Amino acid sequence: MNDLVTHPNPDLIVGPDLRESWNTADRRRWGFHNLYRITRYGMYLRSRDVLALRHRIYRRIGDMDEVRRLTGTTMFSAMVVLRGDTLIYEKYAPDFGPDRPHSVMSISKTAMNLVIGRLVADGKLDLSSRVKDHLPEIGSGYAEATIQDVMDMNIVNSYDEDYSDPFTAALIHESAMGWRLPPEGTSDETDREFLCTITSDDLTNHSGEPQYKSSSTDVVGWIAERVSGRPLRDFFIDIVEAAGLQDTFYMSCDREGVPNLNGGISMTARDLARYGLLFARSGRGILGQEIGSQAFIDATRAQTGPRYPAPADHITYGNQMRTNGRWVGHGGWGGQFLFVDPESETVVVFYSVLENEDASDWDYQQETIAMAQAISLMEPA
């Protein structure tokens, strides 16, 4: 046995640029299209019943200048638009297609709006309670924070998320998530062990702007599991069944099987659109299941959370979603967006993979939102 040769997994090793091989600029597109089979641990789910989509294409959508511009770049992967259960627009890049799963990154966070909203509606969780009331083992980075502030990305702690910095906590976190190998000579860490290392001397957000931290989503998911007595996997089975997904739902996990709530989901564009309809249907599933809460979705749209700086100061962050008071949605690091307008029952899904070094472009995301908003206000053809 002494002649056996091993080497670190080449997709997961951190290279000289301090990024995983799949996440370097020249391989990121391949990585986002294949993350569901790259991560070290994961689960997959299928729905018994599928929401059938009717087809009535609005040709005017494809004629919009902003649609042509955003779907005409090498970054583009897919775009799907639903109005209720009707597919009104669909387009894919040559190297992608309707049956291909795509990483949705932080769009995954929106699931906690459904889960926490349902727990609040059922009287199982008080958002004014503090994190330590449910997780006594948590560190100072969250212990004294209210759950509402954690849901709203409204606290300050040592976790930072600046993807231009290769040492940002958000990238270091990926080792515990199973997205990269730990540093040489160190042992594997679980996600919850990592969360307990986050610290803070003063949790107060003095800026009035969102303090975006992917770790916050994992914290509220841990709380959901504690107060409900249910494993997170069961919540996601409920969500997948309620949305009526057609293809496989993939979720990366840590080595203990804890789902990476902050960004672990991969699914097809059509299925993400089916999922988005849950927010247009007041949190109800295809068979009437109460998965989320209309009152909680309304509270999200009330814009009580911190506000983004100008020129995006019409958008706030609250309850793990962005909103302008009408639509709700979320972006995904690297170029994705889920947009839901409950008033017109319009869902816009946009998949792309940014080609710059840090895979971040706030202006590009605002352009995507503006396109989706224009589509949502379009009258039927």
C-alpha closest to that of 272 among 199, 332, 208: 332
What are the tens digits of pLDDT across the range 347-375?
999 999 999 989 999 999 999 999 999 99
- Confirm whether pTM is higher than 0.85: yes
pLDDT at 1: 58
Q: What is the mean pLDDT of residues 35-57?
A: 97
C-alpha closest to that of 255 among 175, 172, 363, 168: 175
State how far the Cα of 338 lies from the Cα of 275, in Å rounded to an integer: 10
> Following DSSP, what letter does each residue of 198-228 receive, concatenated?
---S--B--SSS----HHHHHHHHHHHHHHH
Half-sphere exposure of 209 (CA within 13 A, CB side): 8
pLDDT level of residue 381 (50, 70, 90 thresholds): low
Architecture of the domain whose range is 21-376: 3-Layer(aba) Sandwich (3.40)
